[in-house]
Chains A and B, each alone.
Chain A
Amino acid sequence: MASVTLKNLHKKFGHTTVVNNVNVEIADGEFLVFVGPSGCGKTTTLRMVAGLESISDGEIHIGNSLVNDLPPGDRDVAMVFQNYALYSHMTVSRNLGFALQARGVVDREILHRVQRVAKMLDLEEMLERKPKQLSGGQRQRVALGRAVIRNPKVFLMDEPLSNLDALLRLQTRKELIELTSDLKNTVIYVTHDQVEAMTMGHRLAVMNKGEVVQLDTPEKVFNEPANRFVAEFIGSPPMNFLEGQVSEKSQKKILKTDSFDLVLSESMNLISGSSVIMGFRPHDVKLVSEGSLGGRVTVVETLGAEKLIYLQVGKNSLSILVPATEKIRSGDHLQFEINKDYLHLFNRDDEKRIIFSEPN
């Protein structure tokens, strides 16, 4: 068990920079999730920690040692690959014991530990089978067992759930949370699935275009996204965005968008004339019988307990979440109100979050 420190980490393939100045300190026993769209550099970062990818610039420390030039086998990390990468010519039992075999552990000890891990992961019945004869979920458990058996300093997981079907993914997610919190090893987890990231991570490192754009707890990332990208990427259904200009009218700040005007709360002390992007989540909207905001329903999606309504408001299409009990059909005209406590504002030029100091 150990902490992991990524310092000014860079990775270049030719002239393309795929990981750009990543700085993350991962505490001993922490579950850190790198999350971002495909091609954002999260897997490359993980592979650099594993030692499977060379480092163009920067430092990686595991525990107290600099591991930049250590081969993967000497870093005491275990990796779970997206497609499991089981040794196809070995039985489950030999797959599980391979890392121990490679380290010269005596056969009796290997057997003992294989049996213990097999019991833990419910693999006892299939120890003599080859990977080909296993289902996707079973293969996933073997891949996990192969990592667990070594009790390494750090677990590296590269989208380990993405090849499972929806129901199994949910179940395995829960098992993985239980397993890692029991074992208390440091975990670095890579996923493009924001729900997975939110539910599993102690902290998230949201990546975009090779950079970590926000490093924080799931709650903070959700409630106070650092920029428009994070706001859009985290949260489902995604946030609504409207561009607007701040103006002042009878000592009140007003945000003028091309669909409607919104009176801002007093704490939002913006300079008149500044261009901003306003964002609000679909569930931070309330239907009202009479209000200043309104639009025509274009699509109604029933999600179960809730309905996702697409509204045409002026030139913009906005989505709002309402209880499923609301009887709404497309073509209806709705009046709504935005909860201003959960309004997110971003600068139009750099798309960064505008932070207001708390009113005294």
Chain B
Amino acid sequence: MNKQDFRSRDARLGFLLVLPAVILVILVVILPIISGIQISFTSQRVVGSEYEFIGPKNYFELFGDKQFIASLGKSAIWVLANGFFQTLAALLIALLLNQPFRGQNFVRTWIILPWAVPAAVTAILWRWMFDASAGIVNTTMKGMDLVQKPVLFLANPDIAGASLTFVNSWRYIPFLTIIFLASLASVPEEEYEAAQVDGANAWLQFKTITFPNLLPTLTVLGLVGTLWASNVFDIIWMMTRGGPGDATTTVPVLMYDMAFYGYNISKATAGAIIFLFLLIIFAFVFIFANRKQFVVASETFQDLSK
């Protein structure tokens, strides 16, 4: 048997091994998207109802729909606010937990807890804590004379978005912290020691050693985090239903509302398809612009898996 045979045998085995995954992706990702695109060109109102082909009418309607345009803006703000707040907080916590202290391993393990709490539990928990009359946040603030009137965290349109960002960040920060901690662990200790002997202060050490080492991780998280945050639906729906008014109606919330409460599943699907393509374009541009960091990141993950 010659080399060529081995290689083709290897290729065949590789193909067989990825086949189940490929079939699964086709069944649960590709087919629904195709079916979604198909529905978006029809007049279907509810699942299973009669419909006819109406061409790109749904799309034209959406581009003139102020509520839809506004939801795109709210999604953008939501993603930016969550991304900024979560990344910054997780990075600070990770840097803190990276300093040696008693009980470090315990804290490092259990910080993951909020990530493990189901979204529904999180929503109920925080609705209760944010409650105007009985919530612990308001009673504490009142007890300390910080406020006269209870703060309407979820009912005041000016701060509902911020409250939701806080709760959503509460869920995601632990996960990001763990990722940052893993990334920090790969920074060689000697580089910090050399920098100390060279007389570099903490800020210079962070700027020149820690940050460049974290950059590939930050870049990957920038992409994944944006996609995750864009698609957050559960927390928003369960806490405010997109309200008060339309204050927290991001694209996923609006699409759900339109499909199942506005009985316009085809138009909602068209909106979802537009959103999907915007995210795909974002992902491509982001990866292209940061291709160097992605290469480094993939090398790092390969190193870590050795």
Residues of chain A having any CB pair with chain B under 8 Å: 50-52, 71-74, 77-79, 81, 83, 85-90, 98-99, 101-103, 146, 150, 156
- The reply to whether A81 and B212 form a contact with Cβ atoms under 8 Å apart is no
Determine whether the beta carbon of A78 is less than 8 Å from that of B197.
yes
Query: Could you name 18 residue pairs across A and B whose Cβ atoms are closer than 8 Å?
Result: A51-B196, A51-B197, A52-B196, A72-B199, A74-B199, A77-B197, A79-B197, A85-B188, A85-B193, A85-B194, A86-B194, A87-B209, A88-B191, A89-B212, A90-B208, A99-B198, A101-B204, A146-B198
CB neighbours of B200 from chain A (8 A): 73, 98-99, 102
Question: CB distance B193 to A103 under 8 Å?
Answer: no
The A/B interface has a contact count, at CB < 8 Å, of: 67
Query: Which residues from chain B contact A79 at a C-beta distance below 8 Å?
Result: 193-194, 197
The CA-CA distance from A72 to B200 in the complex, in Å, is 10
B-side residues, CB < 8 A to A, are: 188, 190-191, 193-201, 204, 208-209, 212-213
CB atoms of B190 and A85 under 8 A apart:
yes
B199 in contact with A52 (CB, 8 Å)? no
Closest to A76 in B: B199
> Which of B188, B191, B199, B213 has a CB less than 8 Å from the CB of A103?
B199
Contacts of B198 in A (CB 8 A): 73, 78, 98-99, 102, 146, 150
Q: Closest approach, in angstroms, between the C-beta of A189 and any C-beta of chain B?
A: 16
Which of these, B196, B197, B201, B208, contacts A87 with CB under 8 Å? B208
The residue in chain B whose Cβ has the minimal distance to the Cβ of A53 is: B193
Contact across chains for A50 and B197 when beta carbons are under 8 A apart = yes
- A72-B196, A81-B193, A85-B193 known; 10 new pairs, CB 8 Å cut-off, are A50-B197, A52-B193, A71-B196, A73-B199, A77-B197, A87-B191, A87-B208, A89-B212, A98-B195, A102-B199
A73 to B193: give the CA distance in the assembly, Å: 10
Q: How far is the CA of A336 from the CA of B104 in the complex (A)?
A: 65
Q: Which residues of chain B are within 8 angstroms of A73 by Cβ–Cβ distance?
A: 196-201
Enumerate chain A residues within 8 angstroms of B194, measured Cβ to Cβ.
79, 81, 85-87, 146
* Distance in angstroms between the alpha carbons of A83 and B194 in the assembled complex: 11
Q: For residue B191, which residues in chain A have a CB less than 8 angstroms away from its CB?
A: 85-88
Measured between alpha carbons, how far is A89 from B213 in the docked complex, in Å? 8
Q: How far is the CA of A71 from the CA of B194 in the complex (A)?
A: 12
Which of B191, B195, B198 gathers the greatest number of chain A CB atoms within 10 Å? B198
Q: Give the residues in chain A near B199, CB-CB below 8 Å.
A: 72-74, 99, 102-103
B190:A102 contact, CB within 8 angstroms: no
Q: How far is the CA of A79 from the CA of B198 in the complex (A)?
A: 8
Q: Which residue of the partner chain A has the closest CB to B215?
A: A89
A215–B201 Cα gap in the complex (Å)? 37
* Inter-chain contacts of B212 with A (CB < 8 A): 89
Q: Which of B190, B197, B204 is A83 in contact with, Cβ under 8 Å?
A: B190
Complex: how many Å from CA A88 to CA B198? 15
Whole-angstrom distance from the CB of A251 to the nearest CB of chain B?
A: 63
**B122 → chain A closest CB, angstroms:** 38
Cα distance, A79 to B212, chains bound together (Å):
23
Beta-carbon contact of B208 and A98 below 8 Å:
yes
Complex Cα–Cα for A51 and B192 (A): 13
Bound CA span A146–B199, Å? 12
Within the complex, the shortest CB–CB distance from B208 to chain A, in Å, comes to 7
Cβ B201 vs Cβ A102 within 8 A? yes
Closest B residue to A74 using CB positions: B199
Chain B residues contacting A77 (CB-CB under 8 Å) are: 197
Minimum Cβ distance to chain A for residue B196 (Å): 4
The interface residues of chain A lying within 8 Å CB-to-CB of B208 are: 87, 89-90, 98
Q: How far is the CA of A102 from the CA of B196 in the complex (A)?
A: 10
A52 touches B197 (CB 8 A): yes
For A51, the chain B residues whose CB sits under 8 A away are 196-197
Q: Least Cβ distance of B184 to chain A in Å?
A: 14
A360–B208 Cα distance when bound, in Å, is: 68
A73 to B197, CA, bound (A): 5
* A157 shortest CB reach to chain B, Å: 12
A55 to chain B, nearest CB (A): 16
The CA of A85 and the CA of B194, in the complex, are separated in Å by 6
A304 to B41, CA, bound (A): 88
Give the residue name and chain of the B residue nearest to A100 (CB).
B198
Chain B residues with Cβ below 8 Å from A85 are 188, 190-191, 193-194
Q: Please give the distance in Å from B73's CB to the nearest CB on chain A.
A: 38
Q: Report how far A85 CA is from B213 CA in the complex, Å.
A: 14
| Minimum CB–CB distance for B166 against chain A, Å | 34
Closest 7 CB pairs of A and B: A73-B199, A85-B190, A89-B212, A99-B198, A85-B194, A102-B200, A72-B196
Give chain A residues whose Cβ lies under 8 Å from the Cβ of B204. 101-102
